[in-house]
């Protein structure tokens, strides 16, 4: 069997491409958002919010994961010293000190505050922040990091947000700053988030600006797997079939496809189950899924096959049968056409 990468992989037509985006040989992009490696610095204040920081970092690490080349590189910085204590009492080793940072090739500098973080910066810190602003570095903040930027006069004339407990103090100290009661705010080259949960949303908005919706949807597919429709504890993890915006007949068909992978149902069988015509099914899929029913079913089976290849030691023949393919050769050809590599290559890479 030919083990070379398939030169022109077929595209995933449906929304399942977001589930598979990290594993495709090449980014499926319209070229509107060129790949640029951006450098981000995170300044960790003493007692910074660990969850806000990791939420922001998780977004950029996952963006790198789903891209064929890294989109971002980041470094952690302290005001002084080699470690910073988080709000959880955990010491974090940093890559360097803010005062020694060369900001010339920096794209984004984010001040990571926290509930108990000190909010009065020293002269050297103010000077470095102003230097970054002069170099047209985008400045950002988590939790109450906007306080430091405002102290340096770098938020005058901008809108931003801050944790509610820091709002009164910032309004008093720097009335030139326009505060909004929003989870996060992006105003030109200033970005800010008010708390733990909004840090991820802010970074996703930044990534969307840099690289478009496709990349962000791929990130959300990975990071939002445990978010239920109502965020209620104990609810089952949602799938595409649970999307309440889809017509009920289409939701039922998607569920039938997901539950019948090993022995796929025919389109006529699906039509019979939901009591609509085959033509109506075709229209539903074209309108809502941007593909045909048979193509979506194939993409569903290939997605499951990819997961089995990565997570089990089952033979390729067994996986082919479990995913509704007539045999290993047919399965290998389809897999290689979509993912750009053969199933055996996936197993080899996983073992390595």
pLDDT at 240: 59
Contact criterion met (CB below 8 Å) for 43 and 74? no
The predicted-structure confidence for 203-231, as pLDDT tens digits, reads as follows: 999 999 999 888 898 898 888 755 444 44
Check whether 233 has a pLDDT greater than 50. no
Contact criterion met (CB below 8 Å) for 190 and 140? yes
H or E element in which residue 164 lies? helix 164-173
pLDDT at 230: 44
From 76-80, 130-134, 136-140, 233-237, the region with the lowest mean pLDDT: 233-237
Long-range pairs for 262-267: beta carbons < 8 A, 24 or more residues apart: 262/321, 262/322, 262/323, 262/324, 263/324, 264/297, 264/301, 264/324, 267/293, 267/294
pLDDT tier for residue 1 given thresholds of 50, 70 and 90: very low
pLDDT at 266: 95
pLDDT at 242: 58
The predicted-structure confidence for 82-110, as pLDDT tens digits, reads as follows: 999 999 999 999 999 999 999 999 999 99
Sequence-ordered strand ranges (E) for 58-158: 72-78, 83-85, 91-93, 96-97, 108-112, 138-142
| Fold agreement (34-211, 240-351) | no
pTM of this prediction?
0.72
Residue 127: CB atoms within 10 A of its CB come to: 13
Rounded-to-integer distance, Cα 107 and Cα 139, Å? 9
pLDDT at 345: 85
In 3D space, the residue among 181, 183, 49 whose CA is nearest the CA of residue 116 turns out to be 49
- Domain range annotation of the chain: 34-211, 240-351
In the block, tokens 């980014």 appear at: 27
240-351: CATH class: mainly alpha
pLDDT tier for residue 8 given thresholds of 50, 70 and 90: low
In eight-state DSSP terms, residue 299 is H
| Mean pLDDT across 31-52 | 86
34-211: CATH class: alpha beta
pLDDT tier for residue 237 given thresholds of 50, 70 and 90: very low
pLDDT at 312: 85
* Average pLDDT of the residues of the chain: 86
| Mean pLDDT across 294-306 | 93
Q: What is the share, in percent, of the chain residues with pLDDT greater than 90?
A: 61
């Amino acid at each position: 069997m030919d083990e070379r990468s398939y030169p022109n992989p077929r595209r995933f037509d449906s929304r399942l491409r977001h589930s598979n985006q990290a594993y495709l040989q090449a980014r499926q992009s319209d070229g509107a958002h060129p790949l640029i490696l951006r450098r981000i610095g995170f300044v960790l204040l003493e007692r910074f919010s660990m969850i806000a920081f990791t939420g922001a970092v998780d977004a950029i690490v996952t963006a790198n994961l789903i891209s064929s080349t890294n989109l971002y590189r980041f470094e952690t910085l302290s005001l002084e010293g080699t470690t910073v204590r988080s709000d959880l009492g955990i010491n974090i080793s940093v890559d360097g000190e803010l005062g020694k940072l060369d900001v010339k090739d920096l794209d984004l500098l984010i001040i990571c505050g926290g509930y108990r973080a000190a909010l009065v910066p020293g002269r050297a810190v103010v000077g470095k922040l102003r230097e970054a602003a002069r170099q047209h570095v985008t400045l950002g903040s988590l939790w109450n990091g906007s306080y430091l930027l405002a102290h340096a006069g770098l938020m005058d004339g901008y809108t931003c947000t801050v944790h509610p407990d820091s709002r009164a103090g910032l309004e008093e100290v720097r009335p030139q700053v326009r505060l909004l009661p929003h989870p996060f705010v992006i105003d030109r080259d200033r970005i800010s988030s008010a708390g733990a949960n909004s840090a991820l949303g802010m970074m996703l908005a930044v990534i969307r600006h840099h690289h478009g919706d496709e990349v962000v949807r791929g990130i959300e597919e990975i990071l939002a797997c445990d978010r239920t429709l109502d965020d209620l504890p104990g609810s089952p993890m949602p799938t595409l079939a649970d999307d309440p915006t889809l017509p009920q007949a289409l939701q039922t068909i998607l569920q039938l496809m997901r539950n019948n992978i090993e022995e796929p149902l025919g389109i006529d069988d699906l039509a019979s189950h939901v009591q609509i015509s085959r033509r109506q099914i075709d229209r539903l899929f074209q309108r809502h899924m941007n593909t045909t029913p048979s193509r979506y079913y194939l993409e569903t089976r290939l997605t499951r096959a990819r997961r089995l290849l990565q997570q089990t030691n089952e033979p390729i023949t067994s996986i082919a049968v479990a995913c509704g393919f007539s045999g290993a050769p047919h399965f290998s050809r389809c897999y290689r056409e979509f993912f750009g590599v053969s199933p055996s290559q996936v197993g080899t890479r996983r073992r390595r």
